[in-house]
Amino acid sequence: MRLYNNLINEIKSILSGANIVSGKNALNVSKKISVIFSSETAFELGGSQKPCVSGLAVSSDIKFSNSVHLFGDDLNKIMSDSPFGKFVFIQIEDFENEQDTFNKIKELEALRYHLNIEGFMTRASALNMREQIRVSKKAIKSGVAFGDYGTTLLNEYFKFSYVKSAEIYFVTNFNDFEKLNSVAKKINQTTSALNHIFDNVMFDCSTCNLKEICDEVDGLKELHLKNVNK
Ligand code: SF4
């Protein structure tokens, strides 16, 4: 799977000034929904309609450094709802069958809807690429940082046997929001195109609303054609 490679490299280049942050505290993870009420919330990353963007992209040939990167302020410096970005890049096994690869992407995407990390409550929307995260007052008081949250998240991705390496980027400095937003949109459109292709939708680029992304990302059209001819 190389469809996302250029987009991954673009995001990494925009965020090349990010710092690597390490995790000191292991956070508890549960599959049960844990609600953080407004009264218990220190702030919401991406809350109050602040700029907010997220994306998940996979590659079978980019080796990631298994690290968490932060572009902007850490949690202890944030005082109120703030802009927020989150990008997850994952190297997965090179499956021979593209449908298998797509199933794994969906499985990895779904993790953000099912995972509850103590002190954090995610509200994600696949439609508008927003992933807002409420952070509890308790977590801030105990000194939890992005490194802890990101490392906990990385460990959850590593539980999938086909995940070989990964990197997570958190963004709280939004000088380059428009650039990031534009690449994130393409990542999400690429995933939508894959959805379209593996849903056996007709191959008719002239009426398809994904034409723009398929014209830009090498391999999408070929993949659709190959699947139509199966
Ligand atoms: S290849 Fe054509 S029909 Fe298929 S998803 Fe892309 S634009 Fe749509």
Give pLDDT tens digits for 190-203: 999 998 888 877 88
12 CA to centre of ligand 1 in angstroms:
27
Q: What is the pLDDT of residues 157-167, one digit of tens each?
A: 999 999 999 99
Residue 124 inside a domain? The answer is yes
Residue 106 inside a domain? The answer is yes
**CATH code (residue 112):** 3.30.1650.10
In this structure, are residues 13 and 7 in contact, taking their beta carbons and an 8 Å threshold? no
Number of domains in the chain: 1
Residue 210 inside a domain? The answer is no
Residue 182 inside a domain? The answer is no
- Whole domain around residue 107: which residue ranges? 5-175
228 CA to centre of ligand 1 in angstroms:
11
Residue 217 inside a domain? The answer is no
Q: What is the pLDDT of residues 87-134, one digit of tens each?
A: 999 999 988 888 889 999 999 998 888 888 999 998 877 666 788 999
Angle, helices 220-228 vs 177-198, to 10°: value is 10
Q: What is the pLDDT of residues 111-122, one digit of tens each?
A: 888 888 999 998
29 CA to centre of ligand 1 in angstroms:
39
Confidence of residue 228 (pLDDT cuts 50, 70, 90): confident
Residue 187 inside a domain? The answer is no
Ligand 1 in contact with 211 (CB < 6 A)?
yes
Residue nearest to atom 5 of ligand 1 (CA): 193
212 CA to centre of ligand 1 in angstroms:
9
**pLDDT value, residue 230:** 65
Q: How far apart are CA 99 and CA 195, in angstroms?
A: 10
**pLDDT value, residue 126:** 64
